[in-house]
């Protein structure tokens, strides 16, 4: 590679490394230190204690089933939704596009509670309905089970998979499929032999990101797994830090290290599986056309399937949240419940100065943070995909470092780091922490979009005398718009509801929405929690529509 690329790579390694390595190094120190901070005497006792726990084996088994199950569900559903939304003439595609990313906008704890109200075996609304309809003796579904956990986590991870697969799908060169059909292949055969293999980098990226997110997820294991007595790594770590008053995050970090190693292995596996980059190029110098497939007779049935799926899986839980925000306390829907409805929880939230300050701070962090984050992601993704040297591999692994750590632990790592800087207890600590942790949300969609752009395009620009930056600005970035939008939406919605870091780093004056949400959850105030959650969904949805509108000025709609 050229010297310029090498310089750029090392420069990015320095920035990304600084952002992500510092908290992880603090966690390494913490896991090897006596006492409760990261500055005690050296000891290996925490590793011995953490890994000799007899419960760990079963926890690991549950974790693998939970995480792989949820990631497969999320990726499959995302593929189905993205294919219909982007490649076909299915009606109301904009609505389906927004619905697919709604779970990204909801605080995960709230989405989980909503599913508990729908499918708990005692008086879950859907269970009661099905029992009534089919005269059943027992509830047909029990949310407090591994399949229940997989369902809800899969839905929560769906937007991640969708926002990675969608840009790749929109940059798909339909002439490849046309050639397949011309050669006599059926639609199904074309999908399995041409479409899916070409999309392999995006599908794998989506799957891997979902796996890593699933490993770090806490809301579903806590709200759904714990009552079902199903423990995964996140709840195991929670038990570890919550048994007793002096929580030992060093010991939790010791367990977290294996998650980190697993994540790095996955990233290298991904690089290996997509190493023949040329195979996945769909946009070269010879023009590409992302044509729309006409569904004809299957249009109505597919529309109905999509409509029912979207309604049951995503819209219904949101309706439940609206309902909870209007009733005075948690109650099963009935004539009495409807007669007691009112706006009390909404008024309480709107009159709460901390909730309003949180909204303001989170909006700033969402919009400004995502913009800075996506800017950095463009360069990082470029190096990861186009340079592909060993240093680029290191850069890719570095970008995942903080992201891979279970949320319950990484916040403490950042605290141990920031307390040594003047940024501690400021909003900038939150901003830098967010970008450092969620950088893969910007990098992944951009990488899968970069993979599809042939080097010839840049080379032609460079030969014609343009600089690297001009080439990036005039040639590459316009082709990346769907990836940029996806990455921005992922980052902004994530920053808007971020919990793991905020709960440790936020202080009076820098409160964010997640902190308020947690306060309401800890006090069991589900009505206010739901009202604030719906406000969050509304603001996030507005942001998504706005950024889509801007993106649409440059390129056709992604969603």
Partner 1 sequence: MKPAKKSVSFIVALLLISGTLFVEKGGAAEEAKVAFYANITAVEPIMDAFTKATGIKAEYTRISTAKFLATVFTEFEAGKLMADVIQAPLPVLEMLKAKGVISSYVSPEAATYPEGSNKDGIQQFGIEYVGLIYNKELVKPEDVPKRYQDLTDPKWKDKIVMANPASHATTICWLIGLRDNVFASEAEWMEFLKGLAANKPMFVASFGPTPAPIESGEKVIGISMPKYIVTKAPAPLDWARVQNQPLMGTPRAMGISTKAPHPEEAKKFMDYWLSKEAMGLLAKDVGEYVLTPGVFPPIEGMDQAKVISIKELSDDEIAKWGEEFKKIFAVK
Contact set for partner 1, span 24-83 (CB under 8 A):
35-39, 55, 58
Give the integer Cα–Cα distance in Å for 132 and 219: 31
128 near partner 1 (CB under 8 A): no
| Cβ neighbours for 280, distance < 8 A, ≥ 6 positions apart | 198, 200, 201, 274, 451, 452
Q: Which is nearer to partner 1, 344 or 388 (CB)?
A: 344
Scanning 41-145, the segments in alpha helix (DSSP H) are 45-51, 56-82, 93-105, 108-119, 125-134
What x/- string results for residues 427 through 456 when contact with partner 1 is judged by CB under 8 A? Answer: xxx-xx------------------------
Q: Which is nearer to partner 1, 140 or 556 (CB)?
A: 140
- What interhelical angle do 93-105 and 56-82 show, nearest 10? 160
Count of residues that interact with partner 1, criterion CB under 8 A? 80
- CA distances (Å), origin 175, targets 181, 288, 451, 452, 556: 10, 8, 18, 14, 18
> In the window 360-419, what residues touch partner 1 (CB under 8 A)?
372, 375-376, 379, 411-412, 415-416, 419
Least distance to partner 1, CB of residue 331, Å: 6
Kindly tell me which residue out of 249, 288, 403, 496 binds partner 1, with binding defined by CB under 8 A: 249
Kindly tell me which residue out of 11, 94, 311, 549 binds partner 1, with binding defined by CB under 8 A: 11
Q: Which is nearer to partner 1, 7 or 279 (CB)?
A: 7
- What interhelical angle do 427-451 and 353-382 show, nearest 10? 40
Least distance to partner 1, CB of residue 415, Å: 6
Least distance to partner 1, CB of residue 224, Å: 11
Q: How many other C-beta atoms are found inside a 10 Å radius of the C-beta of residue 467?
A: 11
Least distance to partner 1, CB of residue 162, Å: 29
Q: Is 228 exposed, middle or buried (0-12, 13-18, 19+ CB in 10 A)?
A: middle
Kindly tell me which residue out of 363, 423, 466, 477 binds partner 1, with binding defined by CB under 8 A: 423
Least distance to partner 1, CB of residue 2, Å: 9
Instruction: From 97-105, 193-201, 463-471, 483-491, give the range in contact with partner 1 by CB under 8 A.
Output: 463-471
What x/- string results for residues 318 through 337 when contact with partner 1 is judged by CB under 8 A? Answer: ----------xxxxx-----
- Show the tokens assigned to 144: 């407090």
- CA distances (Å), origin 443, targets 448, 485, 535: 9, 12, 28
DSSP letter (8 states) at residue 210:
H
What is the SS3 assignment for 523? coil
> In the window 78-117, what residues touch partner 1 (CB under 8 A)?
113, 116-117
Kindly tell me which residue out of 229, 297, 390, 553 binds partner 1, with binding defined by CB under 8 A: 229
541-545: which pairs have CB atoms within 8 A and are 24 or more residues apart? 541/98, 541/102, 541/105, 543/366, 543/367, 543/489, 543/492, 543/493, 543/496, 544/98, 544/101, 544/105, 544/489, 544/493, 545/98
Kindly tell me which residue out of 79, 199, 223, 494 binds partner 1, with binding defined by CB under 8 A: 223
Residue by residue, DSSP assigns 455-504 as HHHHHHHHHTT--HHHHIIIIIHHHHHHHHHHHHHHHHHHHHT--TTHHH
Q: Which is nearer to partner 1, 72 or 518 (CB)?
A: 518
> In the window 259-288, what residues touch partner 1 (CB under 8 A)?
none
Least distance to partner 1, CB of residue 258, Å: 20
> In the window 487-526, what residues touch partner 1 (CB under 8 A)?
503-504, 507-509, 515, 518-519, 521-526
Least distance to partner 1, CB of residue 103, Å: 21
Give the integer Cα–Cα distance in Å for 235 and 222: 6
Give the integer Cα–Cα distance in Å for 422 and 181: 62
Least distance to partner 1, CB of residue 343, Å: 15
> In the window 156-215, what residues touch partner 1 (CB under 8 A)?
none
Least distance to partner 1, CB of residue 460, Å: 18
Alpha-carbon Rg for the chain in angstroms: 24
Least distance to partner 1, CB of residue 281, Å: 23
226 near partner 1 (CB under 8 A): yes
**Cβ atoms of 511 and 358 closer than 8 Å:** yes
Give the integer Cα–Cα distance in Å for 149 and 146: 5
Buried/exposed code over 145-164 (b: 16+ C-beta within 10 A; e: otherwise): bbebbbbbbbbbbbbbbbbb
Q: Which is nearer to partner 1, 51 or 329 (CB)?
A: 329
What x/- string results for residues 130 through 159 when contact with partner 1 is judged by CB under 8 A? Answer: --------------x---------------
Q: Which is nearer to partner 1, 227 or 301 (CB)?
A: 227
Q: Which is nearer to partner 1, 11 or 311 (CB)?
A: 11
């Amino acid at each position: 590679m050229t010297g310029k690329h090498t310089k750029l790579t090392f420069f990015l390694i320095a920035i990304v490394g600084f952002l992500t390595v510092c908290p992880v190094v603090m966690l390494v120190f913490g896991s090897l230190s006596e006492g409760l901070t990261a500055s005690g005497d050296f000891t290996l006792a925490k590793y011995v204690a953490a890994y000799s726990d007899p419960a760990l084996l079963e926890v690991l088994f549950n974790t693998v089933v939970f995480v792989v199950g949820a990631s497969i569900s999320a990726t499959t559903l995302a593929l189905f939704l993205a294919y219909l939304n982007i490649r076909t003439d299915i009606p109301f595609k904009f609505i389906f596009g927004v619905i697919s990313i709604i779970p990204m906008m909801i605080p995960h704890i709230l989405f989980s509670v909503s599913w508990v109200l729908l499918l708990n075996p005692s008086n879950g609304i859907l269970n009661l309905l099905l029992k009534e309809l089919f005269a059943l003796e027992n509830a047909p579904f029990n949310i407090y089970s591994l399949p229940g956990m997989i369902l809800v986590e899969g839905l929560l991870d769906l937007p991640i998979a969708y926002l990675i697969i969608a840009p790749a799908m929109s940059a798909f060169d339909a002439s490849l499929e046309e050639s397949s059909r011309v050669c006599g292949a059926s639609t199904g055969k074309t999908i399995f032999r041409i479409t899916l293999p070409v999309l392999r980098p995006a599908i794998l990226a989506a799957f891997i990101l979902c796996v890593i997110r699933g490993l770090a997820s806490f809301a579903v294991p806590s709200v759904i797994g714990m009552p079902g007595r199903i423990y995964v790594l996140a709840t195991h770590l929670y038990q570890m830090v919550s048994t007793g008053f002096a929580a030992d995050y060093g010991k939790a970090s010791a367990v977290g290290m294996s998650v980190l190693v697993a994540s790095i292995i996955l990233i290298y596996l991904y690089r290996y599986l997509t190493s023949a980059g040329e195979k996945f190029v769909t946009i070269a110098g010879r023009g590409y056309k992302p044509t729309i497939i006409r569904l004809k007779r299957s249009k109505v049935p597919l529309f109905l399937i999509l409509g029912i799926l979207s309604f049951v899986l995503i819209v219904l839980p949101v309706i439940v949240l609206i309902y909870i925000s209007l009733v005075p306390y948690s109650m099963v829907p009935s004539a009495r419940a409807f007669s007691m409805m009112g706006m009390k929880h909404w008024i309480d939230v709107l009159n709460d100065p901390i909730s309003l300050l949180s909204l303001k701070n989170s909006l700033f962090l969402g919009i400004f943070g995502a913009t800075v984050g996506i800017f950095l992601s463009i360069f990082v993704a470029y190096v990861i995909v186009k340079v592909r040297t060993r240093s680029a591999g290191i850069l890719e692994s570095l970008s995942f470092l903080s992201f891979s750590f279970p949320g319950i632990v990484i916040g403490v790592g950042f605290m141990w780091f920031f307390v040594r800087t003047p940024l501690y207890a400021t909003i900038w600590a939150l901003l830098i922490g967010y970008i450092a942790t969620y950088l893969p949300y910007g990098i992944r969609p951009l990488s899968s979009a970069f993979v599809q752009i042939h080097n010839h395009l840049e080379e032609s620009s460079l030969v014609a005398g343009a600089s690297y930056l001009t080439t990036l600005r005039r040639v590459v970035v316009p082709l990346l718009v769907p990836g940029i939008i996806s990455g921005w939406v992922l980052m902004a919605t994530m920053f808007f509801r971020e919990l793991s870091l905020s709960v440790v780093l936020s202080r009076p004056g820098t409160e964010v929405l997640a902190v308020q949400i947690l306060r309401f959850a800890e006090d069991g105030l589900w009505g206010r929690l739901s009202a604030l959650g719906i406000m969050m969904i509304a603001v996030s949805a507005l942001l998504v529509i706005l950024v889509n509108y801007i993106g649409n000025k440059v390129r056709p709609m992604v969603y």
